[in-house]
């Protein structure tokens, strides 16, 4: 089973999306959008830009407590999906 995008309204009334792995784990959360249509465009941007995207070392930032984070950037360099922080010892999605 493939991962899926979920579109939702956050507590502040903004629209967001999250990408869930086939095991249900949230692996990425989009930024806040004013409209549902804008959030849907954000999903399409991730689909378009992340498919063959390379991971560049300058996009991976060390974080406190031994975790890392990674961003998916659109062609102009704007972060479309800043990912959730993951502990370094966490297994990759689908490997459990």
Give the domain ranges of the chain.
4-87
Q: Tell me the HSE value of 79 on the side-chain side, using a 13 A CA sphere.
A: 14
Average pLDDT, stretch 25-36? 93
Average pLDDT, the chain: 75
Confidence of residue 95 (pLDDT cuts 50, 70, 90): very low
Instruction: Give the three-class secondary structure for 10.
Output: coil
Does residue 76 carry a pLDDT above 70? no
> Which CATH number is 4-87 given?
2.30.29.80
pLDDT at position 15 is 97
pTM of the model: 0.60
Residue 13: both structure tokens together: 């009334």
């Amino acid at each position: 089973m493939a991962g899926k995008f979920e579109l939702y309204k956050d507590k502040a009334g903004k629209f967001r999306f999250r990408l869930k792995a086939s095991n249900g784990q949230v692996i990425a959360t989009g930024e806040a959008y004013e409209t549902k249509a804008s959030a849907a465009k954000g999903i399409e941007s991730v689909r378009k830009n992340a498919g063959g995207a390379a991971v560049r070392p300058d996009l991976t930032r060390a974080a406190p407590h031994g975790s890392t984070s990674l961003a998916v950037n659109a062609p102009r360099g704007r972060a479309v999906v800043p990912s959730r922080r993951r502990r370094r010892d966490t297994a990759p999605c689908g490997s459990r």
